[in-house]
Amino acid sequence: MAGILLLNGSPRKDGCTAAALTEMIRTFEKEGMETELIHVGNRNIRGCIACNRCAERGKCVFDDLVNEVAPKFEAADGLVVGSPVYYGSPNGTLLSFLDRLFYSTPFPKHMKVGASVVSCRRGGNTASFDVLNKYFTISSMPVASSTYWNQVHGFTAEDVKKDLEGLQTMRNLARSMAFLIKAIADAKQTHGLPALERGSFTSFPDGK
């Protein structure tokens, strides 16, 4: 059975972001998908210090939640990242977590399906949405989409439950993501995964 890992970047386990992710989980279960929800936003996560020790160790030098989640991410067929909006951007704790998770893990993310979900009272959702999607698009991960940008609005979880279009967007997103995961699994059996070129690295050490 396909597995989907969901990350809650909010410090509130039962807040607005959780309400959106819960709506997706209910839909995933109807689609026959296994899910696991991990709360990131309430943890003490330091940022990357660019020491590059992960290249030697195969994991981050700071042995915290990042290294705990890494094997779950490797085993998952899809990743959903949810975040509240702070000053027009995702939660800083979540960004520190994602920087280290994506940079320190040596396994390929190729063709794992990604989706980001954002929550705010009024503005900043689309800017935060763009930031989160960049983790997927640099990692050769197909990005699932919905019938609107993946966002909900509200100051409380009860407000989010009144955002009927937002919840509809979450359900459609989950269905689209489940379909992509199943379709990629079928195509992998028939055609294999597309080849990835590596080796070229643009750099101009001589100032050219």
In the chain, what are the domain boundaries? Answer: 3-191
Q: Give 208's pLDDT tier (boundaries 50, 70, 90).
A: low
DSSP character for 193? P
CATH value of 3-191 in 3.40.50.850, 3.60.15.10, 3.40.50.360, 1.10.10.10: 3.40.50.360
For the segment 153-206, what is each residue's pLDDT rounded down to a tens digit? 999 999 999 999 999 999 999 999 999 999 999 999 999 999 999 888 888 876
Residue by residue, what is the 3-state secondary structure of 44-79? CCCCCCCCCCHHHHCCCCCCCHHHHHHHHHHHCCEE
For the segment 61-103, what is each residue's pLDDT rounded down to a tens digit? 999 999 999 999 999 999 999 999 999 999 999 999 999 999 9
Query: Given a cut of 60, is residue 131 above it in pLDDT?
Result: yes
Query: Given a cut of 80, is residue 1 above it in pLDDT?
Result: no
Instruction: Give the pLDDT score at 67.
Output: 97
- Do residues 114 and 145 lie in contact, with contact meaning Cβ atoms separated by under 8 Å? no
Q: Give the DSSP H/E element, type plus range, for residue 104.
A: helix 92-104
Give the predicted TM-score (pTM) of the model. 0.94
